Amino acid sequence: MSANYLKKNWRQQINMQRQSTDTSGAYSTLLIIWFALLVSQLLFLVLVYFIRPGLLSLDLSRPLLNESAVAIIVIAGLAVTDLILSFVMRRRYLDQAIGERNVGMVATALIVGCALSESVSLFGLLLAFAFNYPYFWLLSALGIVGTVLHFPQKANVEAASFRPQM
């Protein structure tokens, strides 16, 4: 084996090891961000429990729409639109991250997707506090499910950080 071959092989191994370390660190960071955003939505329910404990009682005999039906429908429509938009924007940012080989853009995709999902839960809070709506938790649950579906995937980080070997 020639010295040049060993040197080139050694450099490739170092680059692969560095890339592996970088992607695991980036992925760990994404997991922490995702978990924090998920917990913040769960804290919204705790907030409602302490401020308006009667709203969390599960009484399905109450009508789905009350005197604020128009506002509830508009807010629910905005919430569903935000949820759909969260997946569209996340996909767009992920495609851009992979195209540009930019791991930071993967984080942007996660944050934008989770933030739009969190807005769904915030719309639920708006219904709880402004309209005393007993089914606010449906939007909160929808926001939490949206955030869970935005769970970061290591494959996205690796795809965005992949550099072809020369």
14 lies in which domain range?
A: 3-161
In a domain? residue 166: no
Number of domains, the chain: 1
In a domain? residue 139: yes
How far is residue 76's CA from residue 58's CA, in Å, rounded to a whole number?
19
In a domain? residue 20: yes
Unique residue bearing structure tokens 């005999």 = 61
What pTM, to 2 d.p., does this model score? 0.80
Which residue type sits at 92? R
How far is residue 55's CA from residue 52's CA, in Å, rounded to a whole number?
6
Listed range (8-22, 42-56, 67-81, 111-125) with the worst mean pLDDT: 8-22
In a domain? residue 64: yes
pLDDT band at 36; cut points 50, 70, 90: very high
Tokens of 37: 């955003």
In a domain? residue 76: yes
145 touches 67 (CB < 8 A): no
pLDDT band at 4; cut points 50, 70, 90: low
How far is residue 89's CA from residue 85's CA, in Å, rounded to a whole number?
6
How far is residue 10's CA from residue 110's CA, in Å, rounded to a whole number?
35
- 10 vs 130, more confident: 130
